Structure 1
Amino acid sequence: EEGIPYTVKVKTGDKSDAGTSAHAHIRLVGRKGRQTRLVPLELMQKRRFERGKVETFSLQEPDIGDLDAVEIEHDGETEADSWFLEDVTVEMPTKGRAFYFPCHAWLSKERGDGRTKRTLKVQDSNISTFRPLIPYEATIYTGDVENAGCDCDVSLKLFGTTGSSSEHVIPKDEGLFERGAINPFKFELDDVGKPIKLRVKIIPQHKKGRHKWYLENIELVRHTQHNERQESYFFGLNDWISRETDFCQDLALTKGGKALLKQTTYRVTTKTSDMGGAGSDSDMSIVIFGQFGDSGELKLDDSSTHRNKFERNN
């Protein structure tokens, strides 16, 4: 069983000598008796659980339903290995569920009750919900035209019938976003209902370099909580993303090569106040918000009524 993602947050108490460098493990226990294996909590960039700090771990384990308890332990033998554990929080991102397990006790052979293993029961009053994350697999196609590649990070923001996701940034790396490249990625996005459009931005990392990108199209494949392929969505562009487009393009959902989101024309009227100093020579832009998200930043470049825009009483 491939499993679903879990996010485990472990908080060490704010007591003298509360931290430990012992090896810790955790087991998740479900309400229907199912449980995960004993999973090591591996610290990536430090050697110990530090006093007053929260350490976050990403696990991929079977779906055991709502949680009832966690078993947590460490292998320390000496007093120096003593660990004062404040609490554990386990999130299930694809289900939008979070479970809180208080501890407030030592895991130690020399302190407290002498135990280095504890079973923590869920505190029902602190079970919370949040907007679930949906697993996606994206395939990004860079066009096969001259100078199509770029030296930028790429961010994706998905818009749908129930809202929009946060931005997901894909860092530039060797072989990514080059001419003719087909680059696959896996990540999670907020649940936005049925997708409508995909906003793609390029983020230049250095003053020098290739700051434009010819994007052909992007395929998004939505997966279930159990990582089964569910539905595919195609977003076509076949155009440049560059300084001329403010490093951003909105890609409409397409079917049979045709965009499903229709383009329209808006007439925007602005009125500058009739008071001293009210006018401006700055560039202006507007964002239009609607039922299915927003238009992105639209520059107010050309006026059909005034050659010198945004002047007093215009």
Structure 2
Amino acid sequence: GSAGWYLDRIEIIDPETGLRYHFICQRWLAVDEDDKKISREIYASEHKNTTYRIKTITADVFGSGTDSKVYIIIFGENNDTGKIPLVKSTTHKNPFERGNADLFEIENIDVGQLKKIKIGHDDSDLLSDWLLERVEINIPKLGRTWIFPCDKWISKTKKNAQPEVELYPIDMSTGIKPSNILYEIKVYTSKISGAGTDANVYIQIYGLKKIN
């Protein structure tokens, strides 16, 4: 064997979120091949989807719940999700009732850092008026939670109310994560002749958070 190595790609799996990150290289790491470099910076391929943990908190006052169909649109630095129906709460069989904190886990397009949301309903039921206290959105991939206060009626019939509201975050907190995470790293060596290496290989991973 020899020290020269033709690296095809690296795949890193975050066990906390299940997200896979792909780093495409398809070049030599060798002193006698290509540009003669033995280390390279490789950037992650763009991800299309991410997980959103959306929590809606209905106010604890008489008549605050709704039986209408609720939806949310999440706006980020890169894009927006479009209308997402909030159907199956993981915390309550009948969501959006008085005092409920309903959690929805949604897989959708990755919009990056959150900027605002729109949330509303279709006014499809007699008991459609909804007094929403706030919305909290956690993105496990980023380890962050955005809090969107509302404290207003979402309604077609109540005075000074609308069936859809636009909300902005007032707080962004970093979720608690262990200081060390066990990543699963898969390295794919090219199948071309002589691509393997007998040298000691190392990798350094850079993320969004600063290292103190």
Question: For 1:81, what is the secondary structure of its paired residue?
Answer: coil
In the alignment, which residue of structure 2 is the partner of 1:26?
Answer: 72
Q: CA deviation at 1:3?
A: 0.4
After TM superposition, which residue ranges in structure 1, 4 or more long, deviate above 4 angstroms?
Answer: none
Match of 1:7 among 40, 47, 53: 53
Q: CA deviation at 1:61?
A: 1.4
Is the CA contact 1:105–1:112 (under 8 Å) kept in the aligned structure 2?
A: no
In the alignment, which residue of structure 2 is the partner of 1:58?
Answer: 105
Deviations 1:49-68 (A, max 9, x none): 11111000001112211111
Task: Specify every segment of 5 or more residues in structure 1 that has no aligned partner in the other structure, as ranges.
Answer: 133-161, 164-191, 196-220, 223-229, 233-314
TM-score normalised according to structure 2 size = 0.59
Q: 1:11 to 1:120 in 2, by over 3 A?
A: same
Deviations 1:4-41 (A, max 9, x none): 111000000111100011000001101x3511121000
Match of 1:129 among 174, 178, 194: 174
Aligned letter for 2:87? E
* Higher strand content, 1 or 2: 1
Is the CA contact 1:68–1:121 (under 8 Å) kept in the aligned structure 2?
A: yes
Is the CA contact 1:77–1:109 (under 8 Å) kept in the aligned structure 2?
A: no
> 1:46 and 2:93 equivalent?
yes
Distance 1:62 1:48 in 2: 24
Aligned letter for 1:5? T
Indicate the percent of aligned positions where both proteins have the same amino acid. Answer: 28
In the alignment, which residue of structure 1 is the partner of 2:42?
Answer: none
In the alignment, which residue of structure 1 is the partner of 2:186?
Answer: 231
Is the CA contact 1:78–1:109 (under 8 Å) kept in the aligned structure 2?
A: no
Deviations 1:42-98 (A, max 9, x none): 035623411111000001112211111011010115662100000000001121111
Aligned letter for 1:40? P
Q: 1:90 to 1:48 in 2, by over 3 A?
A: closer
Distance 1:130 1:28 in 2: 20
Question: For 1:111, what is the secondary structure of its paired residue?
Answer: coil
Aligned letter for 2:53? T
In the alignment, which residue of structure 1 is the partner of 2:12?
Answer: none
In the alignment, which residue of structure 1 is the partner of 2:7?
Answer: none
Q: 5 Å matches for 1:6-155?
A: 6-30=52-76, 32=77, 34-44=79-89, 46-77=93-124, 80-123=127-170, 126-131=171-176
Task: Specify every segment of 5 or more residues in structure 2 that has no aligned partner in the other structure, as ranges.
Answer: 1-46, 188-212
Distance 2:68 2:105 in 1: 19
Question: For 1:80, what is the secondary structure of its paired residue?
Answer: coil
Counting matched residue pairs gives 139
For the aligned residue pairs, the C-alpha RMSD in angstroms reads: 2.2
Say which one has the larger Rg.
Answer: 1
Distance 2:123 2:95 in 1: 12
TM-score normalised according to structure 1 size = 0.41
Aligned letter for 1:104? D
Is the CA contact 2:68–2:127 (under 8 Å) kept in the aligned structure 1?
A: no
Distance 2:156 2:93 in 1: 24
Aligned letter for 2:64? A
Deviations 1:178-203 (A, max 9, x none): xxxxxxxxxxxxxx33x3xxxxxxxx
Q: CA deviation at 1:2?
A: 4.3
